[in-house]
Structures are given as C-alpha cells and as structure tokens.
C-alpha cells in the first residue's frame, strides 16, 4: 500500500479525537467513514464538525465551498462493518481489550493491503498488534488535540511493523499538512511520556493544598506555556487525561511518578469531564 492507493480513510471512534481526525482527512480530499457505536455520539460529531468548519471559514482558513465539500466527504456510520477502507485510524477509548477486539474485526472485514493504525496515547503498539494476523501492516498514528490545529503526529512502529507501512503513513501525514516524528514503541511514546508530569505534578500540588488551580495555571502560563495544566486537561477531557495517566501507571509497573490523582478520579466519577461536559476544573458555557 502506498499513498497513491489511499482513497478512503475510516475512523473508528467519533469522540473528540475521531471528529478532529475525520475533519483533517476530509479537508485533505479523502473520503472518510466516521464510525461510533453510539448514535448520539455520531449526531454530536456531525454538529461539532460543522461548527469547527464554520469557525475555519470565519477565520479565512477555508472558503464556504471548501467547507461544504469537506463535510460532504464524511459518512457517519454506526455499523462497524462499514469500516472498509484503504487505511483505518482507531480512536476508541484507552482500553487494551477494547482495541484488540475492534482490530480483530477490522482486520477481518478489510483487505490484506489495508493499513490499520491506532491513535492510542499510551498503550504500546505491539501489545495491540498481538491480536492481529498481519501486524506488519499495523502502526501507531498519534494525533494531538485539537487535530485540525495541532501539526504534530507521532508515528510509532511495533516490533513487526514493516518499513513500507511507516513510509506510507509519513506520506499520508505530509498530505494532511502534518509534521511527523518517528517513535519507538514505549508507553506514552515521546510527547505523553514527557508531558504526563505537567499534569501529574500540578495535581500533586493541588492535592497538597499548596495553592489552587487558577494560580497554578497562571504561574505556568507566566513561565511560557500557552495553557496551564488544568485548562489543558479540561480541553483534552479530564476523563481522557485520567485514562491515559492510569494506562501509563500500569504500563510502567506502578511507578509512583505516574500515579493517577484521586482528585482527577473524583472529577471523572462526577461526570466533570471538562469543556465537553460544561464543567471540569473550571465551568463553561454549554450554549
């Protein structure tokens, strides 16, 4: 499979990351199949992608016609068997068993030439690939939130990933207007392994009552960061951030430096998932 052979891209998971990746691929001219098991999540994805495209038009990044054409290239599907494509990007929850089960289905319904990729933030690619018959056509393609804005994509090779798969993914990302970095297969890869402590240490400061969230965010922005850790967690999703931290904690055999926070656990339990729920570490207008 080469970049010239890729016409249709399937996205498995219509959450925040799946929506963004679908928009990026459709904007670049690919036909996109966006799947989610939840019909309500698909409806939300349609609305949010339309809103995102509207903002892109208002900022002069797309014309109205380009926006309409982009949206028309996206099919919304709730049947997993509709995920037939030249390349598949999985953007489901950070759960190894869920991902393995999904990829077994994806490998079964697609041709042998189809490239399967995961957008996992933290789970080693080789662990997911262990469920596949053709692991050489499997790799990590880790986009960052918000996908239409963030330029970086980490491409991760599993133990059995072949060089052609990686070359094709690099060419695809270039066509999407992204900058790629190659990473070896390790929990959290490069960015999340380094950035994890931006969140974990901020949460420890909060747990120890050193100061409050607003002060921590203000100090970090004054130090040169564009967003404070709590603002960023709310943007990414408190639940998503907690899931990635938990995954990395176990992947590194309960190394204390990756310990998840009880404060974050409580936020997740209460449904305070950040901007998408209207409340996280801060409150938001849900118009």
Residues with catalytic roles = 121, 142, 154, 192
* Pair 109, 57: CB distance under 8 Å: no
**CA dist., res. 78 & res. 91, Å (int):** 14
Start-end of H helices in the chain:
16-27, 39-58, 64-72, 96-109, 125-129, 163-175, 191-207, 213-222, 229-236, 238-251, 262-269
Q: Which residues, in sequence order, are CB contacts of 226 under 8 Å at separation 6+?
A: none
Nearest to 32 by CA among 99, 77, 62, 64: 77
* Pair 53, 67: CB distance under 8 Å: yes
**CA dist., res. 148 & res. 233, Å (int):** 18
DSSP string, 103-158: HHHHHHHS-TT-EEEE--SSS-HHHHHTT-S-GGGEEEEEE-SSTTT--EEEEEE-
What are the φ and ψ backbone dihedral angles of 186, each rounded to 5 degrees? -150, 150
């Amino acid at each position: 499979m080469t970049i010239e052979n890729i016409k249709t891209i399937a996205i498995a998971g219509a959450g925040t990351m799946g929506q963004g990746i679908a928009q990026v691929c459709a904007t670049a001219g690919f036909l996109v199949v966006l799947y989610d098991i939840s019909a309500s999540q698909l409806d939300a994805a349609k609305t949010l992608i339309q809103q995102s495209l509207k903002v892109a038009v208002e900022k002069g990044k797309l014309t109205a016609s380009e926006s309409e054409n982009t949206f028309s290239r996206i099919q919304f599907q709730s049947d997993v068997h509709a995920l037939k494509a030249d390349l598949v990007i999985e953007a489901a929850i950070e759960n190894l068993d869920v991902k393995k089960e999904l990829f077994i289905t994806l490998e079964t319904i697609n041709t042998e030439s189809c490239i399967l990729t995961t957008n996992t933030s933290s789970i080693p690619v080789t662990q997911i690939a262990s469920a596949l018959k053709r692991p050489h056509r499997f790799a990590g393609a880790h986009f960052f939130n918000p996908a239409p804005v963030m330029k970086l994509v980490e491409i991760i090779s599993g133990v059995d990933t072949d060089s052609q798969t990686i070359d094709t993914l690099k060419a695809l990302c270039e066509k999407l207007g992204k900058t790629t970095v190659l990473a070896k297969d390790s929990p959290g890869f490069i960015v999340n392994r380094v950035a994890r402590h931006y969140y974990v240490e901020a949460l420890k400061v909060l747990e120890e009552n050193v100061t409050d969230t607003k002060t921590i965010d203000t100090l970090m922005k004054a130090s040169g960061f564009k967003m404070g850790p709590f603002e960023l967690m709310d943007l990414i999703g408190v639940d998503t951030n907690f899931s990635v931290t938990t995954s990395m904690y176990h992947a590194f055999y309960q190394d204390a430096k990756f310990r998840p926070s009880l404060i974050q656990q409580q936020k997740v339990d209460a449904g305070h998932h950040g901007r998408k729920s209207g409340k996280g570490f801060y409150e938001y207008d849900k118009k």
